[in-house]
Structure 1
Amino acid sequence: MSCQLAHVDPRPSRGQHGNVQPFSDEDVSIETLSHCSSFSDTASVADEGGEASEDTAQEDFQYKLKGFIDSTVDKSAKTRQGALDGLKTAMATRILYEFISERRMTITDSIERCLKKGKGEEQRAAASLACLLCIQLGSGIESEEVLKTLKPIFKYILADGSASIQARQAVSTRFILRWSLQIPWKNDVHATMECFENLFTRAYARMDGTCPSISPQTSQLYTNALLSWALLLTICTASQLKDILRKYLPKLPKLLESEDVNMRIAAGETIALLFELARDMDTDFEFDDWDELCNKLNALATDCNKHRAKTDKRKQRSVFRDVLKAVEEGDFQSETIRFGTERMTIDSWVKKRTYDAFREFVGSGMNYHLQANEFIRDVFELGPPVLVDSATMKAMKISRFERHLHNSAAFKARTKARSKFRDKRVDVGEF
């Protein structure tokens, strides 16, 4: 099947010092709008000159990717990081299985070298690229071989207190990728969960209610570790879950005292996830400190502390209203994700944690991968990619002018309604 590709410069763009530059914002928007394989718009291909134009664009794009791959071994750290980011952007916004599969070992070697010898942001970029490489390859033997190569390095960086905080933050979310890929290494789940536990438990409030002094960067590391640990909860066996509930559910509320809003939210969502999993096993599940926990959650859902930022309080109150409902009533506030002509409903904490993890991996390309990536569609039980012809896509689109008219009409109606309300309010006052 054909692949419609936007035209790009056939030569990797370079700065004054010869550094390969990652995709620009314009490139990203173009690549995101380009649908590969069965998603190609045959009509637009014809407009651009047919198959010859398409083939040329594909060759140009692959030439640029090859330039990035070559630059991952450059002597300049800035050039290597730019190449890693360029490959990462391409994989997040395009299905590139055939191109990547042929160069899997070369890309893996580059990632391994950058993780071992690079620093900070370069290691972060390498860890992110490793994740996207595996998402592109799917859950087969190819991804398993990539992860077997990188696992010892990920584990070392995660446990190494002297490693850069950026690298440890990135690894803390990518280290659980193989379970997201459903690779059968479940005997290693417990050991990996312990790695994460050794991190986030350091953020527990003390017995006197005070919190340890933690830098914002370290707090983000602990938060990432907690969220990765929570994702692994979704594949634990019933016996493992029983042990975890007994050991950690009484302690996790200590993280609700954290000064970091993101840690408080991560702790609340993890607690809601544990309650959901516990009730799936036993509908009559009871928690000894249920009343105390509900009081804490209610306080966070109605938080009015003046020393906290307004945006943090709004974000926190919204999340903890849902967490409180989950703990008290076993309820979940469902959310609908729209992509192309399809919709997916996030209707459980398990599904939300899985969706959030993949969104962390692919970023703004999530909706595209939900449409086109067979592996991700399989994870969310969406079935094979839906074929949509160009006529249907054009019928779905609303022109910028039509959208402007609609917004203008809505604004006028809203202004008119408010004016009438103000007039009535004035009349009542005068009366």
Structure 2
Amino acid sequence: MTELSRRLGTRDAVMVGLGAMLGAGVFASFAPAAHAAGGWLLLSLALAAAVAYCNATSSARLAARYPQSGGTYVYGRERLGPFWGYLAGWTFVVGKTASCAAMALTFAAYAAPGFERPVAVAAVLGLTALNLFGVQRSVQVTYVIVVVVLAVLAAVAGSAAFHLHLSGFGGGLRPFGVLEGAGLLFFAFAGYARIATLGEEVRDPARTIPRAVAISLTVVLVVYALVAFAVLAVLGPARLAASASPLADAAPGWLGPVVRAGAAVASLGALLALILGVSRTGLAMARDGYLPRALAAVDARSAVPRRAELAVGVLVAVLVATVNLRGAIGFSSFGVLLYYAIANAACISLTRSACTSARVIACAGLAGCLLLACTLPWRSVLIGGAVVAAGVPLFFASRRSR
């Protein structure tokens, strides 16, 4: 079996995580979350961050123990058995494929209003081609994207500080709405999974992956909290919930075009990292025969799984032509929450011998993932449950063929 090349250090891995999270969270999920949580958006953000922290801690421990491509697909397989590993891989691939479509559509909505679908398809195909030249080239592009996005977000938060209306916070507390908002905002934190799925391509993974996950998640949480506070205070919950581009609406007129350009760049960064992560999980599943074995091939020159990346790119391009943004976010959140529920269960088995803090965190993460998944919009739960169930017979069919 040909292995991937270990070329990424801690800084590279942090940038992959930041590139995956920043585009998804700030520009795509605040509005639907505000529609559910109202003036309690920051509470939803705190709950989503708490669950993400538990998941990140469990994922980092498991990635240090099993430094291979595939993330929770590998952890579930090694700790819980083949079926749970397969289910984790299945939910990740379908959930994150929906995330890719959401990011492509977000990019196109900011970059080319009125021509969203063809531009989104072109973006998917272009970034897929970039990934074929090697993971190091993709990370170099992500560095530029992250710097641009952070500068834009700092400008938005700074300018909004002069136009705050604190009456937009609070109001009638709707516990179910807060939980639904947290589930939708979890979409914004799921990017650190990209670091774990690149476990076979980082140097000294036992040290690099936990550090990179912790750093990227902390940076993103601080950025999200500042931006969410500013946008909610300027627009109020009703305007925020109804806005198609809340950061641009919250910024002064002169800054609007800059915000739109930053949103487009951020979405491209998230899409780039998402394609990397989905293709690596597909690679791991193909190695075990749960996906066509042809997808397990690694190119000798570029050291990337070219066939897996091409397959992901084509599938996402097809989805872009058929889905809408809000539906893609809800469905993606459902799949990824189940994915992390399996990660936490695997970590519980890793710490079974003692009642350690890691075990407590993993138990809290498992409970939080299941709770948020069940409180998502009912359409997302229904469609997500049907897709997950559809993957079960594929597992047993693959076992029989093997």
Q: Is the structural similarity TM-score above 0.5?
A: no
More relative contact order in 1 or in 2 (CA 8 Å, sep 6+)?
2
More helix by share: 2
TM normalised by structure 2 equals: 0.23
User: TM-score when scaled to structure 1?
Assistant: 0.22
